[in-house]
Amino acid sequence: MNQGWDYCEQVTRRDDGRSLLDYYSQRYPHSSREDWQTRIDQGQIWVNGQPETASFLLRLGQQLTYHRPPWQEPAVPLEFDVLHDDPDVLVVAKPAGLPVLPGGGFLQHTLLAQLQQRYPQDTPTPVHRLGRGTSGLVLLARSPLAKSSLSQQMRDHTQQASLLLHSLFNLRKDFCSEHDSETRSELRSSQCSQICVHPDSNPSSNLSSHRDPHLHSRWYSADDFLENMSNDRGVPAAEHRLLRKTYLALIGASDLPDHFTITQPIGKLPYPTLGYVYGATPDGRPAYSEGRVLWREGDRTLLEITILTGRPHQIRIHLASVGYPLLGDPLYAAGGVPHLAAVSPAAKLPVPGDCGYWLHAHQLTFRHPATGEPMHFTSPAPVFTSAREAWQFLGS
C-alpha cells in the first residue's frame, strides 16, 4: 500500500455555484456519481480545510482537497538503467510498464518516485515524458540551469516543426499551382495536398500512392529545409537539428514509403470515463514526425521515427492515423482515434496508460546545458520480435 495522496485544486469562475458532488462527478467521470457521493459522505473531500456535504454550493476561489486513502498500486518493473549522471543532467533508460510521473492509479510505482528515493535531496526533473508502455531514454534536469536550458531546447525543437510545416505547405502549394493544366486536372485535390517533392526530381514520378493528406513521401527532407532556412536566419544548420529524439516502432505489414513524413494535427477527443483522450483531429495542434522503414518481413515492419514535436502519444496517433497502429496498441485504431468498444462486455475501455504496444526511445541528442557540447545516447532495443533478431542488432 502507498501513503495515499491529496489532490488539491481551486474553484474557478465556471464552477462558481455548482454543488460539490456535481463538481467532482462531472469533472472526473472516471468514477461514478455514486462513488463521489460515498467519498464526500466519508469526509474525504474538504472545502477550505473542512469536510462538506454533497449539496454544498461552491464559490469562486475556494480550495478543494480530495484526501485519497492509501491504495494498492499495480505491480510494475521498477528497475531502470542510468546512462549518464553529472551535476546538471541525468539520462536513464526505463523499462516498458514503468510510468514516468504519477497518475492513472500510480503514485510510488513511477520513475519519479524511484528517483526521489535515489536522489532524496535534489530529485532530478523529467524534461519530457514517455508513455507507460514505451521503453527507452528519458532526459532529466538536475539543476536550475539544466531545467531552463533543456526546456528551451525542447521549445526550439517544436518551433522548428512549425517552420517545417509552413515550408511543406508552401511546397505543396507551389507544386499544385505550377503543374501544367493537363496534369493538374488529373490530380485529385487530396493527392495535391500530400505531395512532398525534392526540387531536383521529376514531380510527376514522386506522387505518393497514399491518399492521406498528412502522409508524405519524404523526397525533400527536414534536414534540407532547415539547411536552407539557416541562411535566412543566420543560424548554423547544426543548431537547428541538435536536439533529436528517435524511436523504434513495430507495426504490421505495410506499404509505407521507405521514407515518409506525417503531419496529422493532434488534439483532444471526447472519451467515456476519462472525459477526453488525445487523438487525430483536424483542429488539433500541429505535429511533425519523420519515418524510415528499416525492414519489412512478413507481417512485421520495423520503423525508425524521429519527432520534432512532442504531442501526447504522438507516434502512436500518427502511425494509426495513416492506417498502421503500433502492434499491440490497445487504445488507438486505424485513423488515429481510440477504440470505443471493450474487448469483452466485462472488460474496461482501454486507457492511454495501458501497455502492449511496441515502441522504444532509441536515441537522444541534445546540447549540454553547462558546456554546450553535443551529447548523444543510445538505448539498446529490447527483444520485441525474433525476426532477424533485429532489435538486438540495432541496439548493439
Q: pLDDT tens across 336-371, in order?
A: 999 876 555 567 889 999 999 999 999 999 999 999
pLDDT at residue number 385: 47
- Domain(s) labelled CATH 3.30.2350 in the chain stretch across 146-395
What CATH fold (topology level) applies to the domain 146-395?
Pseudouridine synthase (3.30.2350)
pLDDT classification of 396: cutoffs 50, 70, 90: very low
330: nearest Cα among 344, 322, 12, 43: 344
pLDDT at residue number 205: 32
d(CA 55, CA 45): 13
Q: What is the pLDDT of residues 270-326, one digit of tens each?
A: 998 888 999 999 999 999 999 999 999 989 999 999 998 889 999 999 999 999 999
Is the pLDDT confidence value at 203 over 90?
no
Residue 111, sorted as left (phi over 0), alpha (psi -120 to 50) or beta, turns out to be alpha
Strands (E), 87-243: 89-94, 125-126, 135-141, 215-217
d(CA 229, CA 207): 25
Q: How far does CA 34 lie from the centroid of its chain? A: 33
pTM above 0.85, yes or no: no
Is the pLDDT confidence value at 94 over 90?
yes
pLDDT at residue number 185: 44
pLDDT classification of 227: cutoffs 50, 70, 90: low
Q: Beta strand pairing status for 89-94 and 50-51?
A: unpaired
pLDDT at residue number 168: 67
pLDDT classification of 29: cutoffs 50, 70, 90: confident
Q: According to CATH, what is the number of the domain 5-68? A: 3.10.290.10
- Domain(s) labelled CATH 3.10.290.10 in the chain stretch across 5-68
